[in-house]
């Protein structure tokens, strides 16, 4: 991505904040004009006040100098404030736009990217991207205008000397291009390594209990340190190249200054140029090299920001493959899978799956791990795209319905429980409007109200990831959340795995009582959970190999009998 492309992508922001850009630009012009005027004032001070001893100008020129600095600093203030205003608001908008787009993407995207990498792109990369608007481009414009103002002063005093002073600048282009390429390469490595570091850190904090239980603190520290060392090395490479730009540009500039001193000195000695003009020229020239030097530094920093732009706009440009239909799903009375095939990462997971159940029925899916049970849930929620076959809701394709209306009619409870740092009430209500009576009813149905009362009631705060709850308590809160939603289809994916036998029996009883007005899908390894299901489908290698009640399968299916024996042994 080139700077031109980056600027094109920022065009909507420039339009949205056009008024503030104008004010910032006015400030830059004032700062450039004030800087040029302050250096130009050296010539009348030396020639007219000190050499010609004109007393009438002794009180006028100082006021001119003060006025020049007043204009310059008022301009700097305007530029700084309005640029900060624009940059902060653009950063806010970018963060929101990136997150909104990420939330629209398919689950497949989140399976491929680590959470730490996405966090890095949403924070570090966008922060670097902000600098294009709030720092780099405004500074670039300011330094260009300052350079133009000072160049005008230099040319005004001696076009001939200006030619010799600036003739060396083309020599700076080749090293500048080389530095820019290096910086862009190192910047990309730095941002990728930073994302690895953040991912490593996230994994450590997420799995801290496992790490401590296995005394693997040193192992994790060593893994983190590898990323840390790599980031340190690549950052130092970037800093080394960045640090070289200014000295080399200054060295090249000194050649021009040396030429000016020799040629200008001869001009003054010969009387073709006044001492005041020469001092004003040299002062403006020295000042001119400052914005030129800053421009070369800014060019290097722009390469770093452009890399961040590529990574950020990549996320903004991603489109979901699964868009859903336009129709609103009013309710679910029947679900049917017809010859459904599904593959994940080129590996076949479902191979011609046929399955159906209706409102008032409990369908249980059992079988060995990796058989495709959770994939059925993912397809039902339209998280993934099937290869072929049909998924029908009320005899109509799932593709006809909008994703939002589809998922509002379903509630999923998994063994991976999501608890937010908020009150119990907010955790249970989550996506719905808060109703205290309904929350208490849902907690009672989930066999959770007893421990909630002991914690101080539904307004008690839960820690991040439910750190002040046991595994079983977290699962009961999650079940209460699903019941609160009052969906047409309730899906329990190993939802009772962390419950004790008594709590499990209570939840199973609740599930049986709920089936009258809805469809219920159960996935379980403990077959005691699904014994009373209306249908039990044994899934093996992505197909239904047997389907019936517990009693029927025990009589007719050897594979189910083996699974039952294994489950009973595990329970003991």
Residues 6+ apart with CB under 8 A from 550: 527, 530, 531, 532, 533, 536
Q: What six digits make up the tokens of 312? A: 């950020």
Q: What is the spatial distance between Cα 92 and Cα 102, in angstroms, rounded to a whole number?
A: 16
9 alpha carbon, distance to own chain's centre:
18
Predicted local confidence at residue 14, as pLDDT: 78
Q: What six digits make up the tokens of 231? A: 């980031």
**Sign of the four-CA dihedral 488, 492, 498, 504:** positive
Q: Which residues of 322-356 are buried (b: 16+ CB within 10 A; e: fewer)?
A: eebbeeebeebeebbbeebebbeeeeebbeebebe
Fold agreement (3-317, 334-571): no
**Average pLDDT of the residues of the chain:** 82
* Contact by Cβ (8 Å): 304, 238: yes
DSSP 52: S
pLDDT tens-place string over residues 392-435: 999 999 999 999 999 989 998 888 788 888 899 999 998 788 89
Q: Is the pLDDT of residue 213 over 70?
A: no
Rounded to two decimals, the pTM is 0.72
> Could you tell me the CATH superfamily of domain 334-571?
P-loop containing nucleotide triphosphate hydrolases (3.40.50.300)
Q: What is the spatial distance between Cα 18 and Cα 479, in angstroms, rounded to a whole number?
A: 51
Q: Which residues of 206-235 are buried (b: 16+ CB within 10 A; e: fewer)?
A: eeeeebeeeeeeeebeeebeebbebbeebb
pLDDT tens-place string over residues 38-80: 777 777 777 776 777 777 777 777 788 888 889 888 988 898 8
Start-end of H helices in 318-384: 373-380
Q: Pick the range with the lowest mean pLDDT from 169-178, 306-315, 512-521.
A: 169-178
CA dihedral of residues 423, 428, 434, 439 (deg, nearest 10): -110
Q: Provide the residue ranges of all domains of the chain, joining segments of one domain with +.
A: 3-317, 334-571
Q: Is the pLDDT of residue 178 over 60?
A: yes
CATH of domain 3-317: 1.20.1560.10
Specify the higher pLDDT residue, 439 or 86.
Answer: 439
* Contact by Cβ (8 Å): 124, 309: no
DSSP 401: B
Q: What six digits make up the tokens of 23? A: 């004010």
Q: What is the spatial distance between Cα 377 and Cα 365, in angstroms, rounded to a whole number?
A: 10
pLDDT tens-place string over residues 159-177: 887 777 777 666 666 776 7
Q: Pick the range with the lowest mean pLDDT from 56-70, 99-113, 282-296, 476-490.
A: 282-296
User: Tokens 């020295």 correspond to what residue?
Assistant: 286
Q: Which residues of 415-434 are buried (b: 16+ CB within 10 A; e: fewer)?
A: bebebeeebbbbbbbbeeee
Q: Tell which residue, 538, 540, 536, 529, has the closest CA to residue 570.
A: 529
Kindly indicate the confidence band of residue 505, based on its pLDDT and cuts at 50, 70 and 90. Answer: confident
User: Tokens 């820019």 correspond to what residue?
Assistant: 180
Q: What is the spatial distance between Cα 140 and Cα 252, in angstroms, rounded to a whole number?
A: 21
């Amino acid at each position: 991505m080139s700077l031109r492309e980056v600027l094109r992508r920022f065009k909507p922001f420039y339009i949205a904040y056009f008024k503030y850009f104008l004010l910032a630009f006015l400030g830059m012009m004032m700062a450039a004009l004030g800087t040029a005027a302050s250096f130009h004032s050296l010539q009348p001070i030396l020639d007219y006040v000190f050499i010609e001893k004109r007393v009438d100008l002794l009180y006028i020129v100082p006021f001119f100098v003060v006025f020049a600095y007043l204009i310059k600093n008022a301009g700097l203030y305007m530029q700084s404030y309005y640029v900060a205003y624009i940059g902060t608001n653009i950063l806010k908008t970018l963060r929101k736009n990136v997150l909104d787009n990420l939330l629209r993407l398919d689950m497949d995207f989140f399976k491929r990217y680590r959470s730490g990498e996405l966090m890095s792109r949403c924070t570090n990369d966008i922060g670097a991207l902000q600098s294009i608007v709030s720092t780099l481009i405004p500074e670039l414009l300011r330094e260009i205008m300052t350079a133009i103002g000072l160049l005008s002063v230099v040319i005004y005093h001696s076009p001939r000397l200006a030619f010799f002073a600036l003739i060396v600048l083309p020599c700076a282009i080749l090293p500048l291009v080389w530095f820019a390429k290096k910086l862009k390469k190192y910047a990309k490595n730095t941002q990728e390594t930073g994302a690895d570091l953040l991912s490593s850190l996230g994994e450590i904090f997420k799995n801290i209990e496992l790490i401590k239980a296995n005394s693997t603190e040193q192992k994790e520290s060593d893994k983190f340190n590898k990323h840390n060392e790599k980031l340190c090395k690549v950052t130092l490479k970037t800093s080394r190249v960045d640090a070289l730009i200014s000295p080399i540009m200054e060295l090249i500039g000194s050649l021009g200054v040396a030429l000016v001193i020799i040629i200008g000195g001869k001009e003054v000695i010969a009387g073709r140029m006044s001492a005041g003009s020469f001092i004003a020229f040299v002062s403006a020239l020295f000042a001119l090299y400052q914005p030129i030097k800053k421009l070369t530094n800014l060019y290097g920093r722009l390469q770093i920001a452009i890399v961040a732009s590529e990574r950020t706009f990549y996320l903004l440009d991603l489109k979901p493959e699964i868009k859903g239909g336009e129709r609103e799903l009013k309710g679910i009375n029947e679900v049917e899978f017809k010859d459904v095939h599904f593959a994940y990462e080129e590996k076949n997971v479902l191979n011609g799956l046929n399955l159906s159940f209706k409102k008032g029925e409990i369908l249980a899916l059992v079988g060995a791990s990796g058989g495709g049970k959770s994939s059925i849930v993912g397809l039902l929620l339209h998280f993934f795209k099937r290869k072929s076959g049909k998924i029908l809701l009320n005899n109509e394709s799932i593709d006809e319905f909008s994703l939002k209306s589809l998922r509002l009619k379903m509630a999923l409870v998994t063994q991976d429980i999501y608890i937010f740092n908020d009150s119990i009430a907010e955790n249970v209500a989550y996506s719905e409007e808060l109703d205290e009576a309904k929350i208490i009813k849902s907690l009672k149905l989930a066999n959770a109200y007893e421990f909630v009362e002991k914690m101080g009631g539904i307004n008690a705060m839960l820690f991040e990831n439910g750190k002040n709850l046991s595994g079983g308590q977290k699962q009961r809160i999650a079940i209460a959340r699903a019941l609160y939603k009052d969906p047409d289809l309730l899906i329990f994916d190993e939802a009772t795995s962390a419950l004790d036998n008594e709590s499990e029996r209570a939840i199973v009883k609740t599930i049986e009582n709920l089936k009258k007005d809805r469809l219920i899908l159960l996935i379980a390894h403990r077959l005691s959970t699904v014994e009373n299901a209306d249908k039990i489908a044994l899934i093996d290698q992505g197909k239904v190999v047997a389907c019936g009640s517990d009693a029927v399968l025990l009589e007719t299916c050897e594979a189910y009998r083996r699974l039952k024996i294994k489950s009973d042994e595990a329970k003991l």
